């Protein structure tokens, strides 16, 4: 479920125009300055900016720039808090700005691009973003947004072109982080880690530092280093206690370290502060893995409620809902939903989810085609490999199934509290290949060497001062909550 969700692109608020006065010192001014640099703003500063701009446009309803600032601030607030109910307010503000100044209003177009990305309406994001670039080709923050858009649409060529323009027109750690995300999405982990490490060292504010530390934690988690991931998430929370995504990351890492009871407490806190469907699903599956069936079912009901609320706010969560239905609901309904998602944005995540739903619905032959698409030139995902393994087992190919189960556990042995144990059990059932067995039962081939980067390499920040060194890592973890007795052994999920 990487990615969904989510979606962690550069902040899209717009700076004051060249003819306007600089923002006054204070929270709203800090948020505006952060926006101009293309970096995250602190949540309290965003709240102050929204309050100030709301009051301003009430008195000055023809101020198109302030309407655009207000709408973009609502988008970022909704993304950071999970309160998607503010998206209609964001849309109203941005379209009001566009109505006041229909021509050349790049700020409003950029805000609408961000809003469409946040709603997972990537075709609309493409439309708005390309209109913004037609008016202002050098607006590098739009190129950063379109990287996410084109990734979800499965358009690798346009991703490369956007990355090249981002590096040409942009500067600073946000550009390094944007390039790192492209490398991560293509499975180039060393390149992704190197660029993001530089971004952490160059971060200029606690909110910015927390965002990049969080992404370092995500990379560590995806390669199976739960303890390292936990340290990064803790660093992010020390830098910015309101970085709720790092709280969810911390819960994920604790689960991987077999600290399930503590992880439950942290997950509940993360979901309360940022109630994203992904967190609801992960928490429900953690309950299930610990044998807490009633709690899991109650959490799945909360997930359904949350998905309905998102739909009312114009957010498309078909990918998460499809995965949930495939595993915990009606696989046939999941297939229909995910086929529609595939038509809207055929990226790696949707390909994997659709392949899995087809497998759960009994169509392994068709499922394998989508599983192959998901793994081709995409991120090294333990979940993708596990899904491919189960599909191969359904196709009666034990050798291929064994290889993909092994790959899933090699990538991240803790990738899911339900599915990682299922992968180990499956390997036990498959047994070892015989020495004189068929070719498909031979040991897995080593992972290929990291392919070269795209022709456009990240441009180092154009700063006169030397980059500050990465902050020292703290060797101790925050004192964890009191933990109850170790839960009973995890039941094997029904597959």
Pairwise CA distance, residues 51 & 70, whole Å: 9
pLDDT in tens, 420-445: 999 999 999 998 776 544 444 444 44
How much is the pLDDT for 258? 96
Cβ contact 390:383 at 8 Å: no
What's the average model confidence in pLDDT over 396-419?
A: 98
Q: How confident is the model at residue 468 (pLDDT cuts 50, 70, 90)?
A: very low
- Whole-number mean pLDDT of the chain? 86
> Among 46, 15, 21, which residue's Cα sits nearest to residue 31?
46
Pairwise CA distance, residues 113 & 117, whole Å: 6
Cβ contact 213:246 at 8 Å: yes
Domain ranges within the chain, ordered by starting residue: 380-444
pLDDT in tens, 333-342: 999 999 999 9
> Among 252, 248, 215, 244, which residue's Cα sits nearest to residue 232?
215
Instruction: Give yes or no for residue 18 having a pLDDT over 90.
Output: no
Cβ contact 249:229 at 8 Å: yes
Q: Taking the model in full, what pTM does it have?
A: 0.83
How much is the pLDDT for 162? 98
What's the average model confidence in pLDDT over 468-494?
A: 41
Q: How confident is the model at residue 25 (pLDDT cuts 50, 70, 90)?
A: low
Pairwise CA distance, residues 214 & 237, whole Å: 9
Please give the residue that has the higher pLDDT: either 278 or 487: 278
pLDDT in tens, 89-103: 999 999 999 999 999
Give per-residue burial for 204-238: e unless 16+ CB within 10 Å, then b.
ebbbbbbbbbbbbbbbbbbbbbbebbbbbbbbbbb
How much is the pLDDT for 27? 82
């Amino acid at each position: 479920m990487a990615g969904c969700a989510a979606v962690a692109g550069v902040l899209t608020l717009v700076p004051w125009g060249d003819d306007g006065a600089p923002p006054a010192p204070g929270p709203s001014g800090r948020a505006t300055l952060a926006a101009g640099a293309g970096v995250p703003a602190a949540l309290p500063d965003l709240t102050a900016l929204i309050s100030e701009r709301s009051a301003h446009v009430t008195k000055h309803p023809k101020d198109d720039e302030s309407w655009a600032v207000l709408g973009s601030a609502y988008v970022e607030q909704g993304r950071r808090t999970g309160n998607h109910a503010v998206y209609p307010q964001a849309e109203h503000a941005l379209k009001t700005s566009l109505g006041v100044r229909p021509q050349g209003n790049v700020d409003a177009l950029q805000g609408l691009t961000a809003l469409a990305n946040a709603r997972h309406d990537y075709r609309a994001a493409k439309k708005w973003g390309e209109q913004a670039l037609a008016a202002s080709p050098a607006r590098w923050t739009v190129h950063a947004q379109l990287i996410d858009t084109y990734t979800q649409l499965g358009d690798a060529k346009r991703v490369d072109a956007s990355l090249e323009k981002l590096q040409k027109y942009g500067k600073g750690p946000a550009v390094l982080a944007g390039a790192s995300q492209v490398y991560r999405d293509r499975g180039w982990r060393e390149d992704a880690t190197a660029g993001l490490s530089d971004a952490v060292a160059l971060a200029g504010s606690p909110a910015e530092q927390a965002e990049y530390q969080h992404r370092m934690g995500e990379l560590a988690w995806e390669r199976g280093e739960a303890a390292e991931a936990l340290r990064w998430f803790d660093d992010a929370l020390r830098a910015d206690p309101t970085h709720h995504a790092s709280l969810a990351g911390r819960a994920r890492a604790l689960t991987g370290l077999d600290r399930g009871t503590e992880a439950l407490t942290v997950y509940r806190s993360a979901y309360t502060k940022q109630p994203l469907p992904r967190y609801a699903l992960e928490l429900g599956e953690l309950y299930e893995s610990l044998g807490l069936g009633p709690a899991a079912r109650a959490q799945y009901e909360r997930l359904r409620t949350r998905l309905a609320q998102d739909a009312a706010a114009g957010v498309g969560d078909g990918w998460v809902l499809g995965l949930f239905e495939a595993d915990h609901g009606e696989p046939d309904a999941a297939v229909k939903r995910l086929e529609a998602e595939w038509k809207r944005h055929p990226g790696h995540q949707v390909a994997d989810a659709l392949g899995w739903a087809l497998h759960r619905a009994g169509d392994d032959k068709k499922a394998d085609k989508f599983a192959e698409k998901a793994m081709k030139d995409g991120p090294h995902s333990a979940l993708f490999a596990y899904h491919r393994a189960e599909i191969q087992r359904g196709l009666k190919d034990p050798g291929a199934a064994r290889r993909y189960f092994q790959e899933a556990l090699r990538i991240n042995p803790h990738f899911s509290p339900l599915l990682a144990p299922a992968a180990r059990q499956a390997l036990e059932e498959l047994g070892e290949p015989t020495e004189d067995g068929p070719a498909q039962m031979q040991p897995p081939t080593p992972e290929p060497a990291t392919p070269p980067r795209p022709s456009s390499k990240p441009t180092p920040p154009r700063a006169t001062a030397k980059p500050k060194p990465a902050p020292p890592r703290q060797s101790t973890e925050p004192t964890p909550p009191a933990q109850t007795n170790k839960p009973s052994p995890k039941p094997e999920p029904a597959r």
